[in-house]
A = this chain, B = another copy of it.
Amino acid sequence: MEETRRRPNARGQGELLRDEIVTAAVRMLDELADDEALSLRAVAREVSIAATSVYLHFPDRDALVLAAMQRCHEELVRTGDEAADAAADPAAALRARILAQAAWAQEHSGLYKVLHESKVHRRHGMPFKEVMVARTTEAVRRCMEAGLAPADDAATVAIDLRTAVNGMLAQRINEPDLPWPPAVEQLDRFLAKLVGLRL
């Protein structure tokens, strides 16, 4: 442990540290898989700054956690969007979106857990999460409009689909030792049975 004093960022570049802090928090949350377990002091150690320096950018621990979650969420949405954009038709786009999100969740299981299960929700809302719901609903609606899925209430179908998909991801993350069936096949069954996609 080198106890050297950090060389301050150049004037006007103070925000660089904010980014480093959020990046470290995201990495640690992925490992911890629990927002309550993330300590401000541990993040500061990771970035090699004094614990008090975190307060230069965040009013308290919760604000730091929220900033980390928000960054994750944006990445998760972007991952889904990119996959959907590359697909040929609405059904392929919906499937690609779901598969991409599932892959992200399995890759960053700790973050997925924090994003969906953490109790920061109880203290502050996480309004940015509604984007995900809207995207899925829109994707389902497009399938119906293109005649690729039986006409139905898109919002309800989307909720059922998201519910099942979340359940699947959560179970696999929370009880990784159980003998789960192949993920893609299970997702395809949900798409077929819940949305009515012909795969």
Would you call A186 an interface residue if the criterion is a C-beta within 8 Å of the partner chain's C-beta atoms? yes
The reply to whether B164 and A117 form a contact with Cβ atoms under 8 Å apart is no
Residues of chain B with a CB closer than 8 A to A113's CB: 117
The reply to whether B117 and A190 form a contact with Cβ atoms under 8 Å apart is no
Nearest 7 Cβ contacts at the A-B interface = A167-B167, A164-B164, A163-B167, A166-B167, A193-B193, A163-B168, A117-B117
From residue 21 to 60 of chain A, which have CB atoms closer than 8 A to chain B?
33-34, 36-37
Residues of A within 8 A of B (CB): 33-34, 36-37, 113, 116-117, 119, 121, 125, 129, 133, 156, 159-160, 162-168, 170-171, 174-175, 177-178, 180-181, 186, 189-190, 193-194
Nearest chain B CB to A192's CB is how many angstroms away? 9
Residues of chain B with a CB closer than 8 A to A156's CB: 181
Question: Closest residue to A164 on the B side, CB-wise?
Answer: B164
Nearest chain B CB to A103's CB is how many angstroms away? 18
In the docked arrangement, what's the CA distance between A88 and B49, Å?
66
Residues of chain B with a CB closer than 8 A to A168's CB: 163, 167
Nearest chain B CB to A142's CB is how many angstroms away? 21
Nearest chain B CB to A31's CB is how many angstroms away? 12
Q: A33-B119, A175-B121 are in contact. Are A163 and B164 (CB under 8 A)?
A: yes
Nearest chain B CB to A181's CB is how many angstroms away? 6
In the docked arrangement, what's the CA distance between A167 and B187, Å?
14
